[in-house]
Amino acid sequence: MTAPSPAWQPTASMAFPRTYHVFMVLPDGNVLVTGGGRTTRGGGFDHCRLPGRALVTGDPDLDTLASMNTYRQYHQTAILLPDARVLVTGSGRGLGYADPTDRLSGEVFTPPYLFKGPRPTITSAPSQLSYAQNFTVQTPDAASIATVSLIRLGTMTHTFTMDQRYVPLTFTAGSGSLTVSAPANANLAPPGYYMLFLVSSSGVPSVAQILKF
């Protein structure tokens, strides 16, 4: 978007063609794709436990995920949790197929970044932010922080997370703290609740601090 002539750029193709899948922004900037089926029909359950796929930064660890425990297709949901894992639930009935049961279960996905080393910690951060203002985040891991971001709390229906938004923030590191610049205006971060994540130079995210504008 900062190029003189902004344009869409394709990423590599997913490992499987799919429909009714869910895209989920992760704290490290990757986009996780979960579930879905190979056709637009409400069924094909043998293909609905598809493994995930990372887009955007192309983390190779996210290209080799195991399949989910059960099918997640139309009306599945996926929500990023404050601990940087992803809760995947539900799936509607497969009309016209032998198994008409709604999936009332859920499963939690632990992304590979949580196995790459210790997590940075947020000791304290403000609960409310003002646009175009700096704010301080206390952390003993200030020297090792690579990125700071806000991810808006998700609302989910029909395989689409409508409020999903990833907002990278500029910052400077001090002794035991970060000075972070809040987004300039509500066009970049509409009013509401967000998760503040710190990500280490090893790519490991913190547990989020919930805050709002």
Asked if 150 and 209 touch (Cβ cutoff 8 Å), the reply is no
The two structure tokens encoding residue 48: 């609905």
How far, in Å, are 37, 145, 160, 196, 198 from residue 151 at the CA level?
27, 17, 16, 7, 11
What is the DSSP-derived secondary structure letter of residue 63? G
Q: What is the C-alpha to C-alpha distance for residues 145 and 63, in angstroms, rounded to an integer?
A: 25
Count of Cβ atoms closer than 10 Å to residue 69 Cβ: 11
* Closest to 160 in 3D by CA, of 1, 50, 19: 19
Choosing from 74, 113, 131, 166, the catalytic residue is: 74
What count of residues does the chain have? Answer: 213
Residue 193 appears among annotated catalytic residues:
no
Q: Which residues are catalytic?
A: 74
